[in-house]
């Protein structure tokens, strides 16, 4: 099995985010993340996908099916003349204050990430092999009418919709990022063709701060340890398979690892070997989509562990 890696054109880092108290802090969503993850994936046997057709138009069409018109117009044209960025609570997730700015470079960067997710899904559908959309900005906090948490367009849902257009009736979405993919949850809620399962922290001081229980949500209030984490992933996969998924999208978050500035767990990079093995055991066409992971020293090892199993 070949793991094909799709990497969009590099975009600039977000200049800053805003903490709950209002202080501006330098963003940790930086290009170096992708460089290190790519090196690990290639170490583990993945291969760069060859140049393909431009999927930008398809990605924009699917984004319009996933997200509301007002949100997309804000991402395209929301920065006022003479300003470099805008922070608008009107597009914050319900109950949250906006902490992620929209800059002039956000729209091409977000659309480029979505196009890479579309291309990865197309490769998986056509070749019957796994693909990895190594994208930034991430997407799983982007909901139908909101953005936040570094996320602007929901790449995982766009990848799932692509797989459906390519012939899969039901596409499961598994999110193993440290943070609940509140945007993904909202985008697929009520749609039986996109069963969703998430393994995430439920500490009240972890974004998105509010965690309602529900089917497919496998939260941990404290560090689950490697065996506990793998067990939760197994439970989440069982939930997705129980809904007769024919293909799978995995939102990959390396922020579950020890030392991540946006996490609190102590998992080692090698934990993504067993996680990827559990995914491979499902024998489903799978698209991995990059979400979080901001502890630079651990990224290469985690990506290598994942690729070694996903490439078997």
DSSP letter assigned to residue 208 = T
Q: Is 200 a catalytic residue?
A: no
Q: How far apart are CA 233 and CA 173, in angstroms?
A: 12
> Which of the following is catalytic: 140, 141, 179, 200?
141
Between CA 141 and CA 155 the distance in angstroms is 10
Strands (E), 8-57: 16-18, 24-26, 47-48
- Structural Rg of the chain based on CA atoms: 17
Contact 122, 130 (CB under 8 A): no
Bridge partners (DSSP) listed for residue 173: 196, 249
Question: Biggest alpha carbon distance in the chain?
Answer: 53
Nearest to 201 by CA among 150, 142, 260, 245: 260
Residue 49: Cβ-neighbour burial (10 angstroms; 0-12, 13-18, 19+): buried
In degrees rounded to 5, what are phi and psi of residue 116? -65, -35
Per the structure block, which two tokens stand in for 149? 């948490």
* Distance in angstroms (rounded) separating the CA atoms of residues 141 and 148: 6
Catalytic residues: 141
């Amino acid at each position: 099995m070949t793991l094909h890696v799709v990497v969009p054109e590099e975009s600039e880092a977000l200049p800053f985010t805003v903490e709950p108290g209002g202080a501006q802090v330098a963003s940790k969503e930086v290009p170096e993340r992708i460089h290190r993850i790519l090196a690990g994936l290639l170490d583990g046997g993945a291969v760069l996908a060859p140049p393909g057709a431009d999927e930008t138009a398809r990605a924009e069409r699917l984004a319009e099916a996933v997200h509301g018109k007002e949100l997309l117009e804000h991402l395209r044209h929301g920065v006022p003349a003479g300003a470099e960025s805008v922070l608008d609570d009107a597009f914050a997730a319900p109950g949250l204050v906006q902490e992620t700015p929209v800059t002039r470079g956000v729209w091409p960067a977000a659309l480029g990430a979505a196009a890479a997710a579309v291309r990865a899904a197309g490769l998986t559908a056509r070749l019957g092999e796994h693909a990895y959309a190594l994208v930034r900005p991430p997407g799983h906090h982007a909901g139908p009418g909101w953005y936040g948490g570094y996320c602007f367009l929901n790449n995982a849902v766009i990848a799932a919709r692509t797989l459906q257009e390519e012939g899969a009736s039901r596409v499961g979405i598994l999110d193993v990022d440290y943070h609940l993919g509140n945007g993904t949850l909202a985008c697929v809620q009520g749609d039986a063709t996109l069963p969703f399962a998430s393994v995430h922290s439920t500490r009240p001081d972890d974004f998105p701060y509010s965690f309602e229980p529900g089917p497919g949500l496998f939260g941990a209030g404290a560090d689950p340890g490697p065996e506990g984490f793998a067990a939760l992933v197994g439970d989440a996969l069982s939930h997705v398979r129980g809904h007769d998924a024919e293909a799978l999208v995995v939102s990959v978050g390396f922020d579950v690892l020890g030392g991540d500035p946006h996490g609190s767990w102590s998992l080692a990079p090698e934990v993504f070997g067993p996680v990827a093995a559990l995914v491979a055991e499902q024998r489903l066409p799978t698209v991995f989509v990059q979400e979080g992971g901001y502890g630079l020293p651990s990224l290469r090892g985690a990506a290598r562990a994942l690729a070694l199993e996903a490439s078997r």
